[in-house]
Structure 1
């Protein structure tokens, strides 16, 4: 029994690594930048490993590919929905969101994902797993024991470090929101003073030159004041100075794990202060685009 569990654990690691490779390539292409996808620090996506070993252990006796496809698709959807819901309750954030896909359920699962996982279930159970089982069966038992033990210790440590690093993500986001708002107010005050100074100059100019030229100057000043009176909501509206300040603030507020999560999950949404998170993303995208 213990030996079988060790094999299952090694299979879990293999499929978790394959899932990490798949996710990293997919998201990197979508984002047009390298993305080290995965919840853990190591190259593993545990949800893929969990789904794969569950399919191998529970669905291995199914010989009809159509039935296997349907059961795999439904099982993967249940697993993904439960994982999304559980992580949101634990960390107060939505790690992935399928709202932009048609036929989605609360943005947690979607029809396209179900089809992909259904095909994957058939491919794993009927094609990949027999080969994986043969390869692992050829490895000497002492090696199986030691590799399983060492990898288990590493995964437990990685999980503990990751969870400890992101458990206060919501509080860090609160700090970012407060600091950015404070800095934005200071910038508005500075711009407001400059607008007032230009306004006084325009008044004098209007008195001197009058007519059409003076009216145009007044309109320009008024437009600048109106533009700066509203909130700074997107990277297109933010000055380079403010974007650099947001990035500097994020580096000081978020720890390494939290910064990695923001980079690894482009559709990460927070329950609270999500606008500040999106403003941070806009600033990063704008600054990254400026370096090209």
Structure 2
């Protein structure tokens, strides 16, 4: 496989994969969702998967059973590795098939593995010959310009997306820390109220200024923390919102409740 063809296949199938994801989301949600890890209209996992399938399975494209079985293995391995690596790097599980039977750690499941197998057979038998013919008709200069532009945009988009995910994780960390502080303050107030009430009951001094001042200070701290918490959870960052909508089953390994709060806010109109 020529290097230039690899770039063509990666780009074309990455774009087609994005279109497929958007159509799938539209059927399930009734609205447009910009699917994919990146912001632009390309899903790299589809591009990589297509290149691997074309490279390894072209010799077997006339053997339907072998093509189908091998496609399931390659696409499932790629999906598992992608999910595993993304989770280890960003501490977020971007999709989760745990609710489906015959899944492996939620990264892959039998239902979608079979679907990928069927899709790959269609690609090898029907779609790829059309793509090859399309590439042959592209003038060399126009093709080189197209690949250069898409490569530059892909790199920029990748950097921007990584920055977005890192900022999202930092935001989740801040929400988690503030939530913990609110809980600690509340627990402290509760314990002090309990202890002081018992003590005041003995002394019959429920209206003492010292009693009121102590809890007024605590209340001010909690009010300030709650205001900061509300600002962090209510802030409408469009890039964070897009990622959460693109991966509705995303789970954070460290900040589960904080992410759920952002997901609830993202679901609001």
How far has the Cα of 1:43 moved from its partner? 0.6
Which residue number corresponds to residue 147 of structure 2?
148
Q: Select which of 238, 248, 266 maps to 1:266.
A: 248
* CA distance in structure 1 between the partners assigned to 2:129 and 2:42 by the alignment: 22
1:186: how far off? 9.4
Q: TM-score, normalised by structure 2?
A: 0.77
Displacement after TM superposition at 1:49 (Å): 1.2
Q: CA deviation at 1:282?
A: 2.9
Which residue is 2:115 aligned to? 116
How many correspondences in the alignment?
Answer: 231
d(CA) in 2 for partners of 1:163, 1:36: 17
In structure 2, the residue matched to 1:207 is: none
Structure 2 residue 41 is matched with structure 1 residue 58: no
TM-score, normalised to structure 1's length?
0.71
1:280 to 1:167, Cα distance in 2 relative to 1, 3 A: closer
For the Cα contact (< 8 Å) 1:170–1:272, is it kept in 2?
no
**Which residue of structure 2 lines up, in the alignment, with residue 102 of structure 1?**
101
Separation in 2, partners of 1:69, 1:58: 13
For the 8 Å contact 1:20–1:37, the answer to whether it is kept is yes
Partner of residue 23 from structure 2, selected from 6, 22, 25? 25
- Aligned 1:32-47 pairs, distance under 5 A: 32-47=30-45
Q: Using the alignment, how far apart are the partners of 1:180 and 1:263 within structure 2?
A: 24
Match of 1:212 in 2: none
Equivalence for 1:250 = 233
Alignment gaps of 5+ in structure 2: 188-225
Distance 1:246 1:20, change over 3 A: farther
Name structure 1 gaps, 5 residues minimum.
189-241
Change (3 A) 1:245 1:25: farther
1:177 aligns with 2:160: no
Aligned to 1:54, what secondary structure does the other structure show?
A: helix
- Following TM superposition, by how much is the alpha carbon of 1:35 offset from its aligned partner in structure 2, in angstroms? 1.5
Aligned residue for 2:157?
A: 158
CA-to-aligned-CA distance 1:66-112 (integer Å, 9 cap, x gap)? 11000001100000000000000110100000011111110000001
Aligned position for 2:46: 48
How far apart are the structure 1 equivalents of 2:31 and 2:256?
A: 23
Give the whole-Å Cα distance in 2 for the aligned partners of 1:248 and 1:263: 20
Deviations for 1:238-274, whole angstroms, at most 9, x for unmatched residues?
xxxx9x997742354x855333211211000001111
Is the 8 Å Cα contact of residues 17 and 43 (structure 1) preserved in structure 2?
yes
Deviation track 1:146-199 (CA, whole Å, cap 9, x = no partner) reads 2111211111111111112212433220112334566789999xxxxxxxxxxx
The answer as to whether partners of 1:35 and 1:263 remain within 8 angstroms in 2 is yes
Q: Distance in 2 between matches of 1:176 and 1:25?
A: 34
1:139 equivalent in alignment to 2:138: yes
Q: Deviations over 1:14-52 (max 9, x none)?
A: 111111111122234334443111111111111011111
